[in-house]
Amino acid sequence: MRDRIFITEADYEQLTQIVAGRRANGIDAPYLAELEQELERAEVLSNGQQIPSDIVTMNSTVRLRDLDSDEVREYALVFPRQNRDINAVSVLAPIGTAILGYRVGSVIELRVPKGVRRLEVLEVLFQPEAAALRSGEANAA
């Protein structure tokens, strides 16, 4: 059984709209099916609930370790049409779908053409919800 994942209500709503729109256009069908499965099993946290800062949300930057090669890489999880820098990965890419909603310490198994990759979430370097909370606390002080 796969670990439980968490997603913000805002991310959930935006992602379900992307899935519906792309499905209607016949775009990215295999990737959409994977994302839909993740959304169906996610625990959606309402906008009033504080999401823990160690959860990978949309627009988060994370550090992952490939447990087979021991390679460590950083990724920024973005929406499909966002501007991307060299480390950005779309939520519709297999690795993007795989990391959404997991927390630090989680090990994710990702199917790739050559088998299965095992990735460990080492650190959430940036999470927009945590950054907004810190900004709000600083402005209140």
pLDDT tens string for the chain (141 positions)? Answer: 467 889 999 999 999 999 988 888 777 777 888 899 999 999 999 876 788 999 999 999 999 999 999 999 999 999 988 877 889 999 999 999 999 999 999 999 988 888 899 999 999 999 998 887 666 654 444
Half-sphere CA count of 59, side-chain side, radius 13 A: 14
Task: Say what the pTM is.
Answer: 0.86
- CATH classification of 6-140 is 3.10.50.30, yes or no? yes
- Radius of gyration of the CA atoms of the chain, in A: 15
Task: List Cβ neighbours of 91 (8 Å cut-off, separation of 6 or more).
Answer: 15, 35, 58, 77, 78, 79, 80, 97, 100
What is the pLDDT at residue 56?
97
